[in-house]
Amino acid sequence: TLQGKTAVVTGSNSGIGLGVARELARAGANIVLNSFTDRDEDHALAEALGTEFGVTARYIAADMSKAADCRALIEKAGACDILVNNAGIQHVAPIDDFPVEKWDAIVAINMSSAFHTTAAALPVMRAAGWGRVVNIASAHGLTASPFKSAYVAAKHGVVGLTKVTALETAEEPITANAICPGYVLTPLVEAQIPDTMEKYGMGREEVIKKVMLERQPSREFATVEQLGGTTVFLCSDAAAQITGTTISVDGGWTAL
């Protein structure tokens, strides 16, 4: 059980982050939800999570594209035993046509935010005498696809950062690992479907089966519950000697 632990999950008002936060709450952890918006519904989401699982749950707005916001999130959380770096965005375009501002945003949100939150969280974990860093990377942290230069570069970077974090905490009761999901049907993936349809000249179902799940031998999307379960496992005592590595939840993608 994770009772008494506090988990900060970046980018968790939808998709995988919310799924991970739910499973951590189910396991007894207090939760800090986050995104860059500060709407009533964001705070209501945290309140509902707290009520459902009988834990303390708060929503803290912070923009993961900004270094100061990343560090302020950990400070405002007050505690951070479990840090899940999940915030991420995608943009699909050939390199020579890739908008510079999209490159900068993806590198900042998908990679640099994990550096800033980790830098702020490690002293807090050390003071508490226990910690878990779980970085939500991607199959694209291990392999590449065309038209996703910024995303693939940032996710490979996150895997590298995970290894360094593990080495710097190796002799402490702190671990750092990356989870590498294949395709999970979330709003982020949903948003890629129109672009991909255009790029390949295909319809929606064809893009899902032939392009997206073409790389995923199971031919099934992974679920946010499965990613939450993997995160809970990495926070368990059984995983205390698992550090600096990646766990693929990709239906066999990276075995190809």
Residues noted as catalytic:
151
Q: Shortest approach of ligand NAD to residue 181 CB, angstroms?
A: 4
- Quote the least distance from Cβ 109 to ligand NAD, whole Å: 5
Burial of 163 (0-12, 13-18, 19+ CB in 10 A): middle
Q: Which of residues 56-85 bind ligand NAD (CB under 6 A)?
A: 63-65
Q: Is residue 197 a contact partner of residue 203, using CB atoms and an 8 Å limit?
A: yes
Our finding on whether 13 is near ligand NAD (CB under 6 A) is yes
Collapsed DSSP state (helix, strand, coil) of residue 114: helix
Binding status of residue 107 toward ligand NAD by CB under 6 A = no
Instruction: Give least dist CB 186 to ligand NAD, A.
Output: 3
Based on CB atoms, which residue is closest to ligand NAD, 152 or 166?
152
Residue placing its CB nearer to ligand NAD in the complex, 27 or 114: 114
Shortest Cβ 188–ligand NAD spacing (Å): 3
In whole angstroms, give the CA distance from residue 173 to residue 82.
12
| Burial label, 180 (beta-carbon count in 10 A; 0-12, 13-18, 19+) | buried
Give the C-alpha distances (Å, rounded to integers) separating 54 from 7, 26, 76, 82, 204: 15, 9, 21, 18, 40
Of 188 and 240, nearer to ligand NAD (C-beta) is 188
**Contacts to ligand NAD by CB under 6 A:** 11-17, 35-36, 63-65, 86-89, 109-110, 136, 138, 181, 183-184, 186-189
